[in-house]
Amino acid sequence: MVAISFGNQVFSQANDIVLRNASLFINTPYKAHTLEVNNTESLIINQEEVDCTTFVEYVLAMSLSNCHTKTTSDSAFVNYLRCIRYRDGNINGYTSRLHYMSEWIDNIVNQGLVSDITSKYGSSEMTLSLSYMSSNPHYYAQLKNSPSNLSKMKAIETTLNGKKVRWLPSDSISLHGPDFIEDGDIIMITTNIKGLDIAHVGFAIHNQSNELCLLHASSRHKKVVIDSQPLKQLLIGNSKWTGIRVLRMNTSHP
């Protein structure tokens, strides 16, 4: 059994393939916008610097490759990464990338790569109302400088809006988390920021006190860490974080 140590805490991985791969990134520097390097959309792979989303994407692609092809081949990893990051795995410009995490979830659930655990166990339901990107194009060079991309993004938001999804509000989450959350599950943190759905992502991991923690690429810590604060405390400490959605990698898929 392999273990991850963080400060005075030791976390057992229990041979979990997702946590084994996630642990390889611990202390990797955090850097936003590593995918915004070309005017022409292409599959960027930069495992030397990650943000919260690219960290999860790389780990999930590695783990799916390990689990389903019994190999660490570059071709399998690249194929899974493309299928995770782009709508139906097709790269066709900036808006083919899955920017809204609710669509990102749907994309990989529909491919059978992960299961939406909160669709079964979520205690509450929310209706998606997405507009953040089209309302703030100045934050995105590919929208700010392209009326065509901006129009396409508005259309994407329209197709997603009105969809109902299940989630867990912060006040329903204890220090130990719901019993159904397993180490290695993907934790998606929901937000009250107008027009946005998910603000942060990472992996579930329980500490020695069985408190639910987050293994994530942290902008606060400037690197990938197992956070010393339980997820419950992180949620309490951020007024813009409202709860979570939970995904789990499938060990078999079509």
Q: What is the pLDDT of residues 101-132, one digit of tens each?
A: 999 999 999 999 999 999 999 889 999 999 99
The overall average pLDDT reported for the chain is 91
Residue-number span of the structural domain to which 121 is assigned:
3-249
Domain count, the chain: 1
The answer to whether position 240 is within a domain reads yes
pLDDT value of position 72: 55
Which has the higher per-residue pLDDT, 58 or 251?
A: 58
Structure confidence at residue 199 (pLDDT): 97
0.75 surpassed by pTM: yes
pLDDT, residue 69, reads 66
- Mean pLDDT, range 197-209, rounded to an integer: 95
CATH number for position 206: 1.10.3670.10
User: In this structure, is residue 50 part of a structural domain?
Assistant: yes
Question: Does 254 reside within a domain?
Answer: no
Query: What percent of the chain clears pLDDT 70, i.e. is strictly above it?
Result: 91
- Return the axis-axis angle of helices 74-85 and 52-69, rounded to nearest 10°: 130
- For range 189-200, the mean pLDDT: 98
